[in-house]
Amino acid sequence: MRTFVMLWAVVLVGCAGAGPTRDPKAFFMRVDLPRWQRLGVDPTFLANALATTTSMSQFFDDVWVQRWVDEGQRLEAQAIALEASGDLVAAGKAYADAARYYIVGHYPNPKTPLKKQSFESSLRTASKGMALGGIAFNPVDFDAPMGRLHFTRSKPLADGLKRPVIIVSGGLDGYKEELALLLQGSLAGSGVSEGVVLVLVDMPGTGQNPRPLSAQGFEEYSAIIDRLVTEPDVDASRIGFMGLSFGGYWAVRLPQVEPRIKASVNFGGPMTRAFTLGNFGRLPDAFVQAALAVMGQANVFGLSGVSDSLAKAVSDGLKDAKKPLLTIDGTEDSVIPMEDTMFPATAGAPRTFFLVPGDDHCAMANLELVIGVAKSWLDRELAAP
């Protein structure tokens, strides 16, 4: 099969400084700090919290987590009081604000008791925020062959129209509650939710999708699609997929095995080389620990086994891939090797690449821009015949 590749390289003012960093704290400041800024936490609170840390490993310390839990609890108490007074609009916003702090508290993985508390609190306050209109999404829970599954979808418009769907999957440390707050907040200007049913999911092994990640992880996504197509406003013939970070792996893998995906966007997903022990060895320990938890493994040898199966699955399926794919990333990604970024170009259906010079993982410094690019591309691919 002939492969068609289109490459966009965009020179932008204000990109993150060139050159990947191997320093964990510097990596956080370059890649994850913009996430929390966009999430809407108070800038002064964030700056004061970061001033007390010297490495990412401290994000697992109870001192760091408790700071975020305390602020979340303060805001949640305000929300409860507002709800009791009958000011439901303000209460919904306050619950959403509390969720933001609990989300940062359980980053990058709720593996300690206090982080688990912060994670459960983020679910509780996000759910209340959705119920009271502070978060413009609805939670959906259902039984599937592998157990109870969950997704979050944009609120129906009840106008009788069927719309295309964009499923957005986070990665190791980005869960659907954070995605909801980002996509309705700082990223709303990208137009990502306009004219579509927006569906947010946790990657297998993360959040409320607890079965450990494996090469069979596509089964969870297929089960979610099975449930999704029963929604009255969903056009089952126009389903797109957007995978962020590790979720980008599924943007490449899922269309190989799930015929209902029409087109997909990969934001900095690992493919083959990223799964090697050599690559894991150069990453911040916090990310390795998150990967161990997500894959249900106790050490890097178990991690290697799961990783090898993931790499083999996506490689074996690539030659027969027939669905359009857009890959987005920064040229200085310090998590994913460039070989993995360009991996989809080696075979399969037409491929498009949008690479931001000087930016890091997932082009995070220019997230509003690249989310808008992804949405425009998917709009074309999911257009009605």
**How confident is the model over 225-266, as pLDDT tens digits?**
999 999 999 999 999 999 999 999 999 999 999 999 999 999
Beta-sheet strands, E only, within the chain: 5-9, 137-144, 147-154, 163-169, 197-201, 234-244, 261-267, 325-330, 351-356
Lookup: tokens for 200: 């947010």
Q: Residue 7 pLDDT > 60, yes or no?
A: no
Report the range out of 3-7, 32-36, 213-217 with the highest average pLDDT: 213-217
Residue 301 — very low, low, confident or very high, per pLDDT cuts 50/70/90?
Answer: confident
Residue 25 — very low, low, confident or very high, per pLDDT cuts 50/70/90?
Answer: low
Q: Residue 109 pLDDT > 50, yes or no?
A: yes
Q: Tens of pLDDT along 212-226?
A: 999 999 999 999 999
pLDDT given at position 32? 72
| Domain boundaries along the sequence of the chain | 5-33+138-381, 40-135
CA distance 306 to 297: 9
Residue 23 — very low, low, confident or very high, per pLDDT cuts 50/70/90?
Answer: low
Query: For residue 118, which amino acid is it?
Result: S
Query: For residue 99, which amino acid is it?
Result: A
Judged by average pLDDT, the poorest of 123-127, 137-141, 167-171, 299-303 is 299-303
Select from 110, 135, 115, 114 the least CA-distant residue to 294.
110
Asked if 217 contacts 149 with a C-beta cutoff of 8 angstroms, the reply is: no
Query: For residue 381, which amino acid is it?
Result: E
Task: Provide the CATH number for the domain formed by 40-135 in this structure.
Answer: 1.20.1440
Judged by average pLDDT, the poorest of 23-27, 151-155, 170-174, 183-187 is 23-27
> What's the mean pLDDT when you consider all of the chain?
89
Count of residues in the chain: 385
Residue 13 — very low, low, confident or very high, per pLDDT cuts 50/70/90?
Answer: very low
The sheet with strand 147-154 has its strands ordered as 5-9, 351-356, 325-330, 261-267, 234-244, 163-169, 197-201, 147-154, 137-144
Q: How much of the chain exceeds pLDDT 70, in percent?
A: 92
User: Which string of b and e fits 131-159 if b means at least 16 CB within 10 Å?
Assistant: bbebbbbebeeeebeeeebbbbbbeeeee
Axis crossing angle, helix 88-106 with helix 113-131, rounded to the nearest 10 = 150
Beta strand pairing call for 261-267 and 5-9: unpaired
pLDDT given at position 3? 45
Q: Residue 59 pLDDT > 90, yes or no?
A: no
Residues 154-165 have a mean pLDDT of 93
Q: Residue 350 pLDDT > 90, yes or no?
A: no
Q: Residue 371 pLDDT > 80, yes or no?
A: yes
**For 271, which DSSP code?**
-
Residue 8 — very low, low, confident or very high, per pLDDT cuts 50/70/90?
Answer: low
C-beta neighbour count of 91 within 10 angstroms: 24
Q: Which CATH superfamily is domain 5-33+138-381 in?
A: Alpha/Beta hydrolase fold, catalytic domain (3.40.50.1820)
CA distance 109 to 111: 6
Rounded alpha-carbon distances, angstroms, from residue 303 to 85, 180, 359: 51, 30, 28
Furthest CA-CA distance within the chain: 64
SS3 (DSSP) at 105: helix
pLDDT given at position 11? 38
